Chain A
Amino acid sequence: MIRFILRRVLGFIPVFLIIATLVFFLIRLAPGGPFMEGERHVPPEVLEQIRESYNLNAPLPQQYAMYMWDLVRGDLGPSMQQPSRTVSQWIVLRAPVSVELGFYSLIVALIIGLSAGIIASLRPNTLTDYIPMSIAMAGICMPTFVMGPLLVLIFALKFQWLPVSGWDAPAEKILPSITLGTVYAAYIARLARGGMFEVLAQDFIRTARAKGLSETRVVLRHALRGGLQPVISFLGPAAAGLLTGSFVVEKIFIIPGLGKQFVDAAFNRDYTMLMGAVLFYAVLILIFNLIVDVAQAWLDPRVRYD
């Protein structure tokens, strides 16, 4: 087990370096750069000086070597477009917000998704199945940029129960979490329904019922464990998706998370910030994949640690 994990972690290093290299050169292929003439002319001498101070005038291989050397020493450099802080400082400032948002959304997704899915699976092809599943289908289809403003319209502007935006007071965190969570709730509901449906049709459930167990006990004690397998394997990618895919929600609700920072960095050609964000996400996703692999091997004896 330990050897398995160690081997996987060692395997991260080349993956990480390949990602860093690819991103380093790819972003430099995009037209424009972090420092160029804007809507207003900037004297060429000034542009030259700015590029100089960020080492952008050096030949590309040299820039690459210097960046990688700094990276190995854990220095992600200053943000080119938001020079008030270094890239590492920005990530430390921003990532917790995205993680927090992702975490609440996951909770929302699990609560709504699991209850809807389980209820639907108990009476297949009846109204108690069709109604939650139709809502789930609508949830999958409804993008966050529609859901977010819609919730704001109802709960913030019409009833004035919750604030329109922000990420400071607890009340401000409700609507964004629901917005981001609903999409995943819909997936979870469908997966849970499918999984439960399959398990409930199996022999051991019939046996349990035949023993005279109450329906609640049959569902919670016996069916749930097997029925939720598809949901569990979905959670790995879902958690990564929640953490990295929060850009739209962060924009709608003006949440100072890393998603927005990441996309802005791409548009602004903030090379250092973009590299930092990509590498941070890469590490996060590598870790999540490792956890899923370990858990799968642990839950399913057919998967070996090699």
Chain B
Amino acid sequence: MRFLLGHTSLCIAIALTLSACNGQSGSTSKSKAPREGVLRVAADAEPQSLDPQLTTGHTEHRILTSLFEGLTTLNQKTLEVEPGVAKTWEISEDGRTYTFHLNPDAKWSDGAPMTANDFVYSFKRILSPKFAAEYSYMPWCIENAEAFNKGTIEDFAQVGVKAIDNATLEVKLAYPAPYFLSMQMHNAWFPVQQATIEKHGKIDDRQSDWILAGNMVSNGPFKLAEWKPNELIRVVRNEHYWDAKNIKLNEIEFYPVNGNLQTAERMFRAGEVDTIETLVITKVPVYKRDNPSVLKLEPFAGTYFYRMNVTRPPLDDPRVRLALAMSVDKESVCNDVLFGAFTPANALTPPGLGGYTAEAGIPYDLAKAKALLAEAGYPDGKGMRDIEILYNESEDHQLVAEAVQDMWKKGLGINVVTNKQEWKVYLSSMTTLNYDVVRAGWIADFLDPMNYCECFTTDNGNNRTGWSNPQYDELEKKARHELDPKQRFAYMQEAEKLLLSQTPIIPIYTYRQRYLINSDLQGCDGNILNYMNYKYMSVTRNKS
């Protein structure tokens, strides 16, 4: 018994000592009870960082849009470009020079005025080779940005960003990018304050304390008040924000659920949060039946598809690839397997992306698929080797892979095996073309089909199929340099048609955001980018 007591007191001692070390996180966080003007969000994951120029994830993006603001922003509902830090702008006739006039009221959260130099500094930072930001290619559309980022030029003055005066910023692009303004909502373009960055390190330090609460200076509608890792990120209204009078929320609390979507749903059910970012898929039919008013299933600019390795026979034969693609019944995958949570897709680009909807498509046509396969020399799948479908660990991916396996087996007589790999192993198999067929997804970073079109050119690192077609490359290049919006889209339509006829990919479905939102939260209209402009949101607690 003495030992028992000794042991227990040791545990207490350790617990107390370690708890004492933990004092820095403070105990300022509040309970999860609903409060007027406070939005409570279950965020899918703990952010890797809150440095807008280093993070790559969607959850991070949603938190960062509350803290920072780029030159322009988007309307929550219509996704039209709206003034951000820039009040007005002009675009030169050749579409390559943008002149931004900053809002004189734009200030940092410490009250310091924002200047054009803040943006020059920020773009320099994300492009600094040593900083090694994964999204550093985003600003490559700026003249000489790629060369500076790759270290071939060292003088940043040669890059097409210039502060004409304190309130005027000029950006010269390498090619006309009509989506340049709408891109500014991406966190890679957000400004950071030089004084703050350099107080806590050098311009190109990846690790720095400037992002912690108390250190961070930002310029968005909210500022960081508290960050307890894996527990809570609390942001409060930024009084220095240029449009502060129009912010309706006092605070937003983000509760990271660290990928545990089941718990997020339970938190919502218990009234601990007002909205959750993603509803676990198996709960979709339950909410459809029992509580449809809180369930949102909104179109999302993302496509789930399969890549095929065209360097491996028999997948080097376009007829075999098209046969495989045509025998996938996407309606059935979406409705019978995935609880009706997604929309079947016949093309690569999601419909309505910046006004573009694909004209080409691969329909479900089993008879034609069989004929194609016979033509390729494999009647009823005879003589065809086993095909492997590779996917990363996740229940949804497994469901889809098994459904497709069944369709190819029954429809075409092909023997299919599925292979599940852990995330990093899967990534390395995919990038080294060590697969037959692999599950993939692509979510648009900005509102333009170019986002998808550029992926399948010969040299693009996102291609990952081994497919190469000079005609396709040519069409992409033409589209990239075309000024006339109609002609631009025409080139991309042609490119997409070519891509689908050659079939290095099998489009399966267009993503839909599936989330829950209670009736207290207003102004959270869904949009296809799943972009959150918290400026527009308000929370009114129902008295009942």
Contacts and interface: CB of A to CB of B under 8 A. Distances in A.
Contact of B461 (A37, A52, A291): A37
Interface in B1-17: 1, 3-4, 6-8, 10-12, 14-15
Chain A interface extent, by class: 35 or more
Give the most central of A46, A81, A95: most B CB within 10 Å.
Answer: A46
Chain A interface SS verdict (over half): helix
A152 interface: yes
B166 interface: no
Interface string B215-231: 00000000000001111
B305 to A, nearest CB: 12
B258 A251 contact: yes
A164 interface: yes
Interface in B220-277: 228-232, 255-258, 260, 262-263, 266-267, 269-270, 272
A140 interface: no
B518 interface: no
B104 interface: no
Interface string A94-123: 011101101100110010000000000000
Contact of A30 (B31, B133, B424, B462): B424
A203 interface: no
Nearest to B18: A96
Given A225-B1, A256-B231, A239 B7 contact: yes
Contact of B266 (A47, A82, A152, A168): A152
Contact of A235 (B4, B21, B206): B4
A265 interface: no
A260 B256 CA distance: 13
B230 A254 contact: yes
Contact of A164 (B8, B134, B272, B422): B272
A212 interface: no
Nearest to A42: B134
A92 interface: yes
Contacts of A164: 263, 266-267, 269-270, 272
Contacts of A85: 229
B49 interface: yes
Given A149-B262, A163-B272, A228-B4, A32 B424 contact: yes
Contact of B29 (A30, A44, A163, A168): A168
A224 interface: yes
A90 B27 CA distance: 18
Contacts of B151: 45
B132 A46 contact: yes
A82 B49 contact: yes
B64 to A, nearest CB: 13
B131 to A, nearest CB: 8
B260 to A, nearest CB: 6
B207 A252 contact: no
B50 interface: yes
A260 B258 contact: yes
A254 B257 contact: yes
A38 B134 CA distance: 10
A33 B10 CA distance: 39
Contacts of B262: 149
B7 A291 contact: yes
A49 B132 contact: yes
A230 interface: no
A121 B540 CA distance: 58
A264 B258 CA distance: 10
Given A49-B130, A99-B18, A32 B4 contact: no
A152 B12 CA distance: 27
Contacts of A110: 4
Given A232-B3, A252-B260, A165 B427 contact: no
Given A39-B427, A84-B50, A256-B231, 14 more contacts: A46-B137, A52-B132, A83-B207, A85-B229, A92-B22, A95-B18, A96-B18, A165-B257, A165-B267, A165-B272, A166-B231, A235-B4, A254-B256, A295-B6
Interface of B: 1, 3-4, 6-8, 10-12, 14-15, 18-19, 21-22, 25, 27, 29, 31-32, 46, 48-51, 54, 56, 129-134, 136-137, 149-151, 206-207, 211-212, 228-232, 255-258, 260, 262-263, 266-267, 269-270, 272, 422-425, 427-428, 431, 440-442, 460-462, 464
10 contacts: A41-B462, A42-B137, A44-B461, A46-B134, A50-B206, A86-B207, A92-B21, A96-B22, A106-B11, A164-B269
Query: Which 4 residue pairs of A and B lie closest in terms of their CB atoms, listed nearest first?
Result: A41-B461, A32-B424, A96-B18, A256-B230
